[in-house]
Amino acid sequence: MLLFNYTILAIESSCDDTAVSIIKNKKVLSNIVAGQKVHELYGGVVPELASRAHQANIVPVLDVALKTANVRLSDLNAIAFTQNPGLIGSLMVGCSFAKSLAQSLNIPLIGVNHMQAHVLAHFIDEPIPTFPFLCLTVSGGHTQIAVFTNYFESKIIGKTIDDAAGEAFDKAAKMLNLPYPGGPLIDEYAKKGQVVYQFAKPNIPDLDFSFSGLKTSFLYFLKKEIIKNQNFITENRDNLCASIQHSIVSHLIKKLLLSSKQTGIKNIALAGGVSANSYLRNEIKNQGKKLGWNTFVPAFEYCTDNAAMIAITAHYKYLNNDFVVLNVAPSSR
């Protein structure tokens, strides 16, 4: 029997953000995220440090989420958590905590796929996409295009054969001596620069992506210019950011255009952490105006890792009575 007055608490701990969200009848009541600054010292996420930080953060974040939503643990009807993919140590913290909480409250447990949740974040607020729609999901670990025919049925029609676009942004930022996380900084500095440099363009058939060659081309270009001028990066930072950002986004847009043409689908959605990139967001909206697309770009707070996207996915799974047993284990894939 379906309940029409229910409250779900969701936990996201797939990487280096500890997040808790509470949703009631599809309405997000709270969405709290705690980052981990410790990784800035290493220029990237250190898995062991991430899992330790999750253990320290999860109870305080839960407390804030409950107070913000004005909800008590006894009000909850289900607990949701990110089951996969992600860093196994980080996932284990969220999974163990969710299982313990669900068992203590004697309520159902809902396992959620992190990538699916990025897509279903579009259903938190209006306007929402209608099926079928194409979704370009771009993050630090994934880059793919999929056709969604309903909330839980999709087919991947294009994916990266090597590196993800988010990784390309972060590695390029590291080459430019920008602090971690560098992707958002490239976006910020690019707004003040111009696209004046060209790099190797990926030449991958069909709908797949590739970013390894682009990263290598960018690296060799920088090394060549630094030999001529030791201050080349500092003096040309904004233009370099604008140029590498244009190269990455152009590759994404090219494949999205081809996907729409091949499938005939004009409902186009953007998801994943890199969907927070302003240049990518604007390019998709501009292409939509030219080609008559119905474009859907999530609010910034639902782009990067957050628990509200886990909660909205759990909402639909709850309606389907799609629960997991308490001995479920997380998976890195």
Looking at the structure, do residues 308 and 178 belong to the same domain, yes or no? no
The pLDDT-based confidence of 112 (bands split at 50, 70, 90) is: very high
Looking at the structure, do residues 158 and 284 belong to the same domain, yes or no? yes
The helix (run of H) or strand (run of E) holding residue 32 is strand 27-34
Number of domains in the chain: 2
The pLDDT-based confidence of 79 (bands split at 50, 70, 90) is: very high
Predicted local confidence at residue 325, as pLDDT: 81
Confidence check: pLDDT of 328 > 70: no
Q: Is residue 324 part of a domain?
A: no
What is the rounded distance in angstroms from the CA atom of residue 67 to the CA atom of residue 193?
A: 43
3-state DSSP assignment of residue 153: strand
Predicted local confidence at residue 180, as pLDDT: 86
Q: What rounded mean pLDDT belongs to the chain?
A: 95
Q: What is the mean pLDDT of residues 37-47?
A: 83
Tell me: the pLDDT tens digits for 265-319? 999 999 999 999 999 999 999 999 999 999 999 999 999 999 999 999 999 999 9
Query: Would you call 241 exposed, middle or buried from its count of C-beta atoms within 10 A (0-12, 13-18, 19+)?
Result: buried
Query: Would you call 95 exposed, middle or buried from its count of C-beta atoms within 10 A (0-12, 13-18, 19+)?
Result: buried
Of 269 and 41, the structure prediction assigns the larger pLDDT to 269
Structural domain that includes position 115: 7-120+304-319
Looking at the structure, do residues 206 and 176 belong to the same domain, yes or no? yes
DSSP string, 96-116: HHHHHHHHHHT--EEEEEHHH
The helix (run of H) or strand (run of E) holding residue 79 is strand 78-84
Looking at the structure, do residues 52 and 66 belong to the same domain, yes or no? yes
Looking at the structure, do residues 269 and 191 belong to the same domain, yes or no? yes
* Pairing label, strands 153-159, 7-12: unpaired
Q: What is the CATH number of the domain that holds 115?
A: 3.30.420.40
Q: What is the mean pLDDT of residues 140-165?
A: 96
Looking at the structure, do residues 162 and 220 belong to the same domain, yes or no? yes
The pLDDT-based confidence of 154 (bands split at 50, 70, 90) is: very high
Q: Is residue 1 part of a domain?
A: no
Predicted local confidence at residue 214, as pLDDT: 97
Confidence check: pLDDT of 332 > 70: no
pTM of the model: 0.93
Looking at the structure, do residues 178 and 55 belong to the same domain, yes or no? no
Confidence check: pLDDT of 329 > 70: no
What is the rounded distance in angstroms from the CA atom of residue 109 to the CA atom of residue 173?
A: 39
The pLDDT-based confidence of 141 (bands split at 50, 70, 90) is: confident
Looking at the structure, do residues 221 and 257 belong to the same domain, yes or no? yes
Tell me: the pLDDT tens digits for 212-241? 999 999 999 999 999 999 999 999 999 999
What is the rounded distance in angstroms from the CA atom of residue 305 to the CA atom of residue 14?
A: 8
Looking at the structure, do residues 149 and 91 belong to the same domain, yes or no? no
* 72 within 8 A of 22, measured Cβ to Cβ: no
Confidence check: pLDDT of 331 > 90: no
Predicted local confidence at residue 36, as pLDDT: 87
DSSP string, 165-215: HHHHHHHHHHHTTPPSS-HHHHHHHHTTS------PPP--STT-B--HHHH
Predicted local confidence at residue 129, as pLDDT: 97
